[in-house]
Structure 1
């Protein structure tokens, strides 16, 4: 018999919640390596007044950091790619952590839409990472793959504060234009607008039910809360990592060249340090979902000559190969 973990965090601290998520990923990774019996984890959590940015994003351009912090908010950076999102107690976050052999985005999205459908709202997947109701987004998702484990996490907007969301997030005009929308507020929807009786607690239960319906057969269900892991030294180390300035904001580098381009799959803002005609350092900010590609691309550019032909050659065969350097 296998084991399934259902875990609720009772804290609203984004750095601790992200630390626990990473701890659970590592827990499952170790279990898979040891041929253990852990079949999957559903982790449900909430953050209070928080902006969470993607792994490769520039904190200062994605978020009004000064305003956020002056109003008691916190900035966090997750381990996966994708764009910035706003979290408050009207939003429920979920993390599906599965062995890679059973990890399926199609199954995961079916689990999410089934949970929302059970609340009396028709939900449908849109593109690679959104879930919509009546044509508007209530769930944004991001993904990460380790050697033996897959992570799929996302948001569920139930009764989130649109005003704060719009004030804190800095969405580029090119992104709005690419999506064919006028503002970030016009693009999203709270589920309570469609079903006023929906609550965060009820949605959490629906996610649990959907998870168990899909995976509980012949598996033991183990329930836990964040406090059950608080004595683990690894969790405290991870907390300090996610809370650190260096992780959340990164290095401040003086660039002497910049390339900015939006693709269908995401935005690239490439900062370059050029010395004697060579790219000595490349830092790439992006909302692309594939964070590994973005990090590899930076290494690929370093050492290249700063001229169009050399840059085109460096990008050849990558999703960024159609950028213009004219």
Structure 2
């Protein structure tokens, strides 16, 4: 199939909507990656993947988890931590929020178009005042409350744009999950999240709104761009017969090497004045410590600070 144009406003002929029934972040990100690598854009057109997760903190591909999240708090409260394949900043998910992923050819990749579509559809249906920004966020007015952030991945002439939309959320849990105590103790070139001045959610302004109505509204608006749309409810996103290779990606996402070992090099200062350098998840140097204590210090550091 040939798209009519590569501009942000052009329409295509067909598309596919995937609705994942999984509530596991590792499963959903593995399936998203599988679609990115395998969805037939030529025959099936653009794709929209919709899913929700149990409480989760998702960091960007090039971020440091100990800067971006409160790792001990996540472990204590059973909140998952995962590193995604796309760049960008850290986000919090839970079952009352929705994740949308728009998969296109690179030439059709247009984040502003997707954000305008979502904002316009929800504004019309529910009377919100949602406004996309130049940073590809969505703000709820008044008071510039951030309800959605964006990330993207581009490779092999294809791209996806995904975002989290906060429908209803406990802001105290969100804040506690993202409040790291190591911000001033770590030096690194890793990508740091931009902290929103205000965070909001849709139910603040419309008490009767729920996630299902939001999904229905956005999917309908997405579908209206195309002549024909196929909708697929995916009960098991790890079905190896239908999605060969997806389990390998799932295992990678859950592994220590991807989550912690992929962290860009950083130096951390401990309360005792000792400084340690960590590369690929491994302590490579210790400064300002007695030689005989270095191995023990490294062990304690991993256990206490790195939480692994």
Q: Work out whether the TM-score is over 0.5.
A: yes
Aligned length: 248
Once the two structures are TM-superposed, the CA of residue 102 in structure 1 deviates from its matched residue by 2.0
Measure the CA separation in 1 of the matches of 2:267 and 2:98: 41
Q: Secondary structure at the match of 1:90?
A: coil
Q: Which residue of 2 aligns with 1:142?
A: 151
1:121 aligns with 2:128: yes
- Which residue, out of 164, 167, 182, partners 1:158? 167
Verify: 1:131 aligned to 2:138, yes or no.
yes
Deviations 1:222-248 (A, max 9, x none): 323142661333111110011111111
Partners in 2 of 1:54 and 1:142 — Cα distance?
8
Conserved in 1, the CA contact under 8 Å of 2:260 and 2:280?
A: no
- The structural deviation recorded for 1:21 is 0.4
For structure 1, the residue ranges without an aligned partner over 5 or more in a row are 174-182, 259-270, 274-280, 284-326
How far apart, in 1, do the equivalents of 2:21 and 2:202 lie? 22
Q: Report the CA distance between 1:257 and its aligned residue.
A: 9.6
1:252 shift after superposition: 7.7
Distance 2:78 2:28 in 1: 18
Change (3 A) 1:63 1:205: same
Query: In 2, distance between residues paired with 1:136 and 1:80?
Result: 24
CA contact (8 A) 1:5 1:224 kept: no
Alignment of 1:302-313 (within 5 A): none
Alignment of 1:42-57 (within 5 A): 42-57=48-63
Q: What do residues 6-60 of structure 1 show as CA deviations (whole Å, max 9, x unaligned)?
A: 11111111111100000011113xx35xxx3121111111111100001111011
Which whole-Å CA distance do the structure 2 matches of 1:141 and 1:252 have between them? 21
Q: Which residue of 2 aligns with 1:198?
A: 209
Q: CA separation of 1:255/1:165 partners in 2, compared to 1, >3 Å: closer, same or farther? A: closer
The partner residue of 2:20 within 9, 21, 29 is 9
**Would the aligned equivalents of 1:95 and 1:151 in 2 still touch at CA under 8 Å?**
yes
Q: Which piece of structure 1 moves more, 37-46 or 224-233?
A: 224-233
Change (3 A) 1:85 1:220: closer
CA contact (8 A) 1:12 1:48 kept: yes
The whole-number CA distance in structure 1 between the counterparts of 2:220 and 2:262 is 43
Residue 66 of structure 2, aligned match among 60, 82, 86: 60
Say if 1:252 and 1:81 are closer, same or farther in 2 by CA, change over 3 A. Answer: closer
Is 1:80 the counterpart of 2:80 in the alignment? no
Alignment partners' CA distance in 1, 2:258 and 2:116: 33
Stretches of 4+ moved more than 6 A in 1? none
Q: TM-score, normalised by structure 2?
A: 0.73
Retained in 2: the 8 A contact 1:166–1:185? no
TM-score between the two structures when normalised by the length of structure 1: 0.69
